[in-house]
Structure 1
């Protein structure tokens, strides 16, 4: 009987998971954690697993509670993924490699694992991140910006605009009232950052897009972007299997 592994990716707002059997992710899911990621462990599937691999960006304050919650639920000590100096030819650009967010590192691992070549990897969530990998595996660096919702909250929180509830969809152009102008400002800022990262990556780079807002942004980007909703978990799977 093949071993079953549980992969857990704890982001700023969501906990995502996947079950791996026979080296394939057979089930996936996600749950909001509202700043209490250890409590969200209760939303994970009630499965018998042989190993648990976890990556999180919630800091030391939550790590012990997350590990204890996993131990209590699955009777397994989780293996924690960390950003590394190198992984099978992929080389971290940070002078202090451990300071690179593990979600960014795992997304790059997934890109490099799938295609040993140049890539632009974008994760559109609470933060918008982009990382560029050269054809030889050198991480050329990246960027971190506010995500769609984060930008809008920042603008509205720092101004005295009289705004109404905003429920209209994002568009590719300009707004025609205060709410849509704030919304479109955030949208075009994210699109501009993504376009600039892609240009820096070069014409031959694979372009991979993940994160909660990936679908919204993809609709307004040029052709060539590949949606990979489980990219961080794909990287965690590769690291857990030492592929």
Structure 2
């Protein structure tokens, strides 16, 4: 059986084949703004395959574009959704459908890695933080802007402020470094506070899991953190084994 996994985020699409032993094949990322996005996606895919699992937090229009491409290549397509409990994970949300599917899949992936607790920080368009205790109970989370979005928002409000560049400094001596330091520092502070509060709540220090396109920027500040570049795809692999619900095609 040939199965592929697709993580459609707000900025990029990440995809990989799923091997028979449950491991991921080579992960490839495509930016949404890339010209001829649909055609580039088609080039990545096999001519024909059995099934595809898609997790999307993107706009309905972009999701429909990706689904249209997938229906041309895959016999079966399943759309991942958040649920109250699955594979040993119980979500904190009273309405699980309101929990972003990327966050839900990251919880599944963390729990599948072994005994927690885990503090999961996703650094993409948003900075998302979720706490998962050692029993698989989601204790809730936070959502804030990522450093990249903070820089872009400042540039939009004050065009003289550059939207990128600069190096992190504890106390910067020029504007571009000050911008990098402030925006990165805001994200670092939110993660630091979340770690401290999680430790107080649970009585033990959770392992920090960093994932997302902006995680490399923050990782040097957390030497004990684990980097998990394909965490959502890991969770989607787990979901495909136990939570698959047919989507646009019959499985």
**TM-score by structure 2 length?**
0.86
Aligned to 1:44: 44
Q: 1:192 to 1:40 in 2, by over 3 A?
A: farther
Aligned to 2:71: 71
Tell me how far 1:175 sits from its aligned partner. 2.1
Matches within 5 A, 1:139-158: 139-158=138-157
Distance 1:114 1:165 in 2: 37
1:7-58 CA distance string (max 9 Å, x none): 0000011000011112221221111012997566335333542210010101
Q: Which runs of 5+ in 2 are unaligned?
A: 244-251
Matched, 1:182 2:183: no
**TM-score by structure 1 length?**
0.89
Distance 1:32 1:5 in 2: 22
Aligned to 1:60: 60
Distance 1:165 1:239 in 2: 37
1:79-132 CA distance string (max 9 Å, x none): 000011111221111111101111011011000111142110010111110100
Q: 1:176 to 1:90 in 2, by over 3 A?
A: same
1:111-165 CA distance string (max 9 Å, x none): 01111421100101111101001222211110111111100111222236x3457
1:208, 1:226 within 8 Å by CA — same for their partners in 2?
yes
The runs of 4+ residues in structure 1 deviating greater than 4 Å are: 35-40
Distance 2:161 2:150 in 1: 15
* Local SS of the residue matching 2:24: strand
2:165, 2:176 within 8 Å by CA — same for their partners in 1?
no
Q: Which runs of 5+ in 1 are unaligned?
A: none
1:16, 1:28 within 8 Å by CA — same for their partners in 2?
yes
Q: 1:140 to 1:158 in 2, by over 3 A?
A: same
RMSD value over aligned CA atoms? 2.2
2:117, 2:133 within 8 Å by CA — same for their partners in 1?
yes
Distance 2:154 2:162 in 1: 14
